[in-house]
A and B are shown apart, each in its own frame.
Chain A
Amino acid sequence: MTVASHHQNFVRERQPLQAALTEMATAVLILDEDRQVEYVNASARELFMPVDPIGCTLSALFASCGVDGGDSLFAAVNVNAEPAQMRLRFSDERLLDGTLRQLSSGGFVLSMDDVTTYVHNAELAERDALTGLANRKALRDRLVERLAVAARTGQELAVLFVDLDRFKAINDTRGHLVGDALLRKVAERFKVSLRDGDVVARLGGDEFAIIQSDAPQPTAATALATRLVDLIGRAYAIDGQIMHIGASVGIAIAPKDGDEPDVLLKNADLALYRAKDAGRGCYRFFESGMDEQMQLRRSMEIDLRRALALKQLELVYQPQFDVASKAIIGFEALIRWHHPTHGIVMPGEFIPFAEEIGVISAIGEWVLRTACKQAATWPIPLSIAVNLSPMQFRGGNLAKTVMSALERSKLPAQRLELEITEGALLDYSDDVVNVLKLLRNLGVVVSMDDFGTGYSSIRNLQKNSFDKVKIDKSFIRGINTSVENQAIIRAITSLASTMRMKTLAEGVETEDELSSIRAAGCDQVQGYLTGRPLSAEAALTLIESAFLAQAA
């Protein structure tokens, strides 16, 4: 082999190596013994743009892009004579993992890989993007670690589940931007409530969780829960408006309520459920037995969700009479649930539950359609009263459903009477007022149910211009002996007649009560005395006999 051919071979071998070094994705800088850059590949040149690294010292180069740590890299290399590694943070948020090696030929080589996206993704996977708190996965990971430590040290550990009360309503009515701003403020309040070492996570929606370790339990969890309920319940000023939410807290403590992460999380959730059930804005500790009660609830929920499809719901009809003429004027439709094992379940028991699990709209619609269809078969045009749940006003479908029920049954709107409680007027009141207006324009009669209980605001009567007021049975009970009750009923009837509303006395059980309400000026009456709730067939029989009497 000649010298010339040897040289050619050498060049041929070196060319791909040279190309690889120049073009590889890893940024490579070669420094001389004075730590001055003498070579950069394309990636490195790009990395430091617009600064030209050639001739700069590494410290100067790093300083130009806000990176600390050049000197410590060299120190590490010199001490160990092994490659030194360090994560470098550029002032523009780029992150690079750098490795500095001493070369056998003298000088150094620094290689750097851009890990910005990788690190960012890893952080994101651990963080809730909206609030910056830990996410569900990170919470569970931390809980596994903390439980392992607690098991070793024999210390207790608390998991707190926190739900925001009324957040959904604000999010729905004020929009997501306000809802998001509110969640960020809530996250800040969580942070100021915690000690170093506590972990707070947003589990999604308006659910948060905290791990509290290294603290005496249950005192520490009690103190934290009390503080959270107070702090989160304080008013928020957002977007020029004031809003109020509350916090409900459920607490489970390891190891007594479980030493497995998932058991502990589930038990904290059960305790949270209990706190919400207790009226929200409070905290509850997990207790054994909550699990069984929850299972019972779940099975009842399954049963109730199926009740409609399995035709276990039935309407019964309680007659209403005119006090003066004693003539029957209509019926109130009342719902019953024939449960396969519990027998007949009354609406007071299952309607609140139906509202909670969100099946009330379906049930309410069924009641409306069934009652209209039934009333349309009656030989005389009596009225049919149907109860509405406040929940049916949400979603904006109520007016449409009423119109459709009237249309399908061919029942004239004037014969349908919708009863709403004062509770419905409290939430969503503008929406409610508008829907009521629409319904009354159709000719539907609207009455206020259970008047005198709850928040009895006379302003409500004025604002909504009802057609009828149903006086709650608690005022009728004992009317004969109570001068106060008599005065109250007289006041209601005179107010109603001035405002051109009818009055109906509910729950009349004795002749004495009937004569008292007549004396007090009530127009109509409903109760066990004048007629108990009847099946559809029995109601029809009653109507037919009234029809015959009328004809005779």
Chain B
Amino acid sequence: MEAPVQIAASLNPHASAAPLMETPMVEIDRLSLWYGAKQALRDVSMSVPKHRVTAYIGPSGCGKSTLLRCLNRMNDLVDGVRTTGTIRIGGSDIGDPGRDVTELRKRVGMVFQKSNPFPKSIYENIAYGPRILGVKHRADLDGIVERSLRSAALWEEVQDRLGDSALGLSGGQQQRLCIGRAIAVEPDVLLMDEPCSALDPIATAKIEELMLELKNSYTIVIVTHNMQQAARVSDYTGFMLLGELVEFGVTRALFTNPRDKRTEDYITGRFG
């Protein structure tokens, strides 16, 4: 495990230093979640600032992925899930049962741990979301595909083989394709669930670079196991343990000067 000094050295130099001045995009208030009888989130409250990268770190099973999946209600698919508390995105409560969940998911895109391109062509992968939204004209779709692939830094590599199967791309390219697919529907928030855990360092570097690029237009929430990654790309970091948000704050502050003993133990490698 790394020493805190090393982490501090790799800190994101662009990270903002004044948390209280940010506009909140996502506000989580006293969120608890149970899988059946097992409680996975305990009374989590926090807010995610707009156009920033927010990272959740913590050991396996601490609930950071669960928290992420609450933001686009992907947990609804799991049987026996029960939640209390509220989540507001852009000011509106997403937990409202009358609310159309598909509408929410169009506003909150997601990139998964394992790249999951559809078994279709590269073009069709990107066009899938817009088609769902009702975009029909080929010219409109062409524009969206190019723009999304450029945003995902993939255009140069695939522009002359858009009709090829997306399954033929490399792992890193597939993951960037998934990012492109997510931003093709122009969401407000982009959730990333350990997006680089299956990638080699070069592909990881590209994605991290991309995240810094994307945060100008999107609010990014990322879950990562890799503390260096969190330190490199995020402006804010939350440390979770056993379903509890132990500490949340500006990344530099959290890594260099953790307030909580448990945070310090974790980032100095005493457990995890």
Q: Do A and B bind each other?
A: no
* Residues of chain B having any CB pair with chain A under 8 Å: none
